[in-house]
């Protein structure tokens, strides 16, 4: 039985990707009612501890851990290219106030928001990240998961979660918690990947279903949820926000990570430029989503 994390419906169909970890298969499912895509089973608490342990998370191997310590910081710096666009959108809705980041990594975005005039603080689950936030930037950051962090009612004007929601076992409950912690007229801003919304992602999903095959993903099951513009909007509104705006973004073709065999890489490379133009011009087929919920 796989319960949909978004609408709690029990009926789902297999989506053609899966992960293996801890001698188990984690199959992607699409809810038959709301079309939300999620992994089933969900990783257990013990498996999550293992997935996010420093030894595993920072293991230096392409198919194993997520990042090496040096890559972790390189990725953080490389990611700063998107800061002006993301903070620009947040500023349109909430230009100042108390800014809290869930999962602030090494603190680069939080530092950027502080320079832009916000009063910033945050939490980070990875010990390495939380330590870097304090040592590098002197930021007020606690090491904690959002699940374990005490709820403070009506405390913040902006809550930001970048690359967080796709990792959470109960993303809706965490958005509801964010809603409770945000002041009236405040905003939540969530940034997530949207692998199957891009042209290549849609083509891959369609092709796999057509030939009746499933693809084993070449990384551990860090992403337990897959968002589309429609399901992200539904989830933000379901969490209690009175409005949700979804902005489709796309990685610059030069910064895309190519994985897979020769043909997969060739297809990705040849489609990324037209995809980039489509997303930039018309706001469709984005491979990244920024969702803004207004309380």
DSSP string, 240-267: T-SEEEEEEE---GGGPPP-SSHHHHHH
Nearer to Zn ion, 34 or 180 (CB): 34
Of 6, 133, 175, 204, the one binding Zn ion by CB under 5 A: 6
Q: Is 212 left (phi over 0), alpha (psi -120 to 50) or beta?
A: left
Is residue 124 within 8 Å of 130, Cβ to Cβ?
yes
Q: Shortest Cβ distance from residue 13 to Zn ion (Å)? A: 11
Of 2, 3, 7, 294, the one binding Zn ion by CB under 5 A: 7
Q: Shortest Cβ distance from residue 153 to Zn ion (Å)? A: 29
Q: Which residues from 13-42 bind Zn ion, rule CB under 5 A?
A: 31, 33-34, 36
Here the tokens at position 198 are 């891009």
For Zn ion (CB under 5 A), the number of binding residues is 8
The tally of CA atoms less than 13 A away on the side-chain side of residue 20 is 6
Q: Which residues contact 184 (CB under 8 A, 6 or more apart)?
A: 154, 295
Nearer to Zn ion, 6 or 181 (CB): 6
Q: Shortest Cβ distance from residue 172 to Zn ion (Å)? A: 10
Q: Shortest Cβ distance from residue 10 to Zn ion (Å)? A: 9
Report the alpha-carbon distance of residue 94 to residue 98 in Å, rounded.
10
Q: Shortest Cβ distance from residue 33 to Zn ion (Å)? A: 5
Report the alpha-carbon distance of residue 188 to residue 146 in Å, rounded.
14
CA 81, 82, 86: angle at the middle one, nearest 5?
A: 150
Q: Shortest Cβ distance from residue 280 to Zn ion (Å)? A: 31
Q: Shortest Cβ distance from residue 196 to Zn ion (Å)? A: 16
Nearer to Zn ion, 12 or 198 (CB): 12
Of 3, 9, 68, 145, the one binding Zn ion by CB under 5 A: 9
Nearer to Zn ion, 172 or 189 (CB): 172
Report the alpha-carbon distance of residue 170 to residue 19 in Å, rounded.
19
Q: Which residues contact 42 (CB under 8 A, 6 or more apart)?
A: 169, 224
Nearer to Zn ion, 7 or 169 (CB): 7
Nearer to Zn ion, 29 or 295 (CB): 29
Report the alpha-carbon distance of residue 218 to residue 270 in Å, rounded.
21
Residue burial 64-73, b: 16+ Cβ < 10 Å; e: rest: ebbbeeeebb
Q: Shortest Cβ distance from residue 35 to Zn ion (Å)? A: 7
Is residue 252 within 8 Å of 205, Cβ to Cβ?
no
Under rule CB under 5 A, residue 133 binds Zn ion: no
Which of the ranges 3-11, 60-68, 135-143, 190-198 carries the binding residues for Zn ion, by CB under 5 A? 3-11
Which of the ranges 9-17, 155-163, 213-221, 228-236 carries the binding residues for Zn ion, by CB under 5 A? 9-17
Q: Which residues from 166-225 bind Zn ion, rule CB under 5 A?
A: none
Does the bond joining 41 to the residue before it have cis omega, within 30 degrees of 0?
yes
Q: Footprint of Zn ion on this chain (CB under 5 A)?
A: 4, 6-7, 9, 31, 33-34, 36
């Amino acid at each position: 039985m796989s319960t949909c994390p978004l609408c709690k419906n029990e009926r789902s169909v297999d989506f053609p990707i899966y992960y293996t970890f801890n001698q188990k298969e984690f199959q992607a499912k699409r809810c038959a009612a709301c079309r939300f895509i999620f992994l089933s089973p969900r990783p257990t608490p013990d498996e999550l501890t293992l997935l996010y342990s420093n030894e595993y998370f920072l293991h230096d191997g392409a198919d194993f851990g997520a990042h090496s310590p040096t890559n972790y910081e390189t990725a953080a710096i490389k990611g700063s290219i998107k800061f002006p666009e993301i903070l620009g959108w947040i500023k349109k809705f909430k230009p100042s106030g108390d800014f809290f980041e869930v999962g602030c990594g090494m603190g680069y975005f939080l530092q950027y928001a502080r320079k832009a005039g916000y009063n910033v603080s945050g939490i980070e689950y990875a010990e390495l990240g939380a330590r870097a936030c304090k040592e590098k930037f002197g930021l007020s950051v606690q090491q904690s998961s959002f699940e374990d962090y005490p709820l403070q009612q009506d405390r913040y004007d902006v809550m930001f979660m970048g690359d967080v929601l796709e990792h959470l076992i109960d993303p809706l409950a965490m958005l509801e918690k964010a809603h409770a912690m945000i002041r009236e007229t405040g905003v939540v801003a969530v940034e997530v990947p949207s692998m199957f919304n891009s042209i290549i992602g849609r083509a891959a999903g369609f092709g796999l279903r057509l030939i009746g095959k499933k693809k084993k993903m070449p990384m551990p099951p860090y992403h337990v949820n897959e968002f589309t513009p429609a399901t992200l909007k539904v989830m933000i509104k379901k969490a209690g926000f009175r409005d949700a705006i979804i902005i489709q973004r796309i990685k610059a073709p030069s910064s895309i990570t190519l994985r897979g065999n020769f043909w997969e890489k060739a297809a990705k490379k040849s489609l990324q430029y037209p995809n980039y133009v489509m997303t930039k011009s018309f706001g469709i087929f984005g491979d990244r989503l920024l969702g803004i919920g207004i309380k």
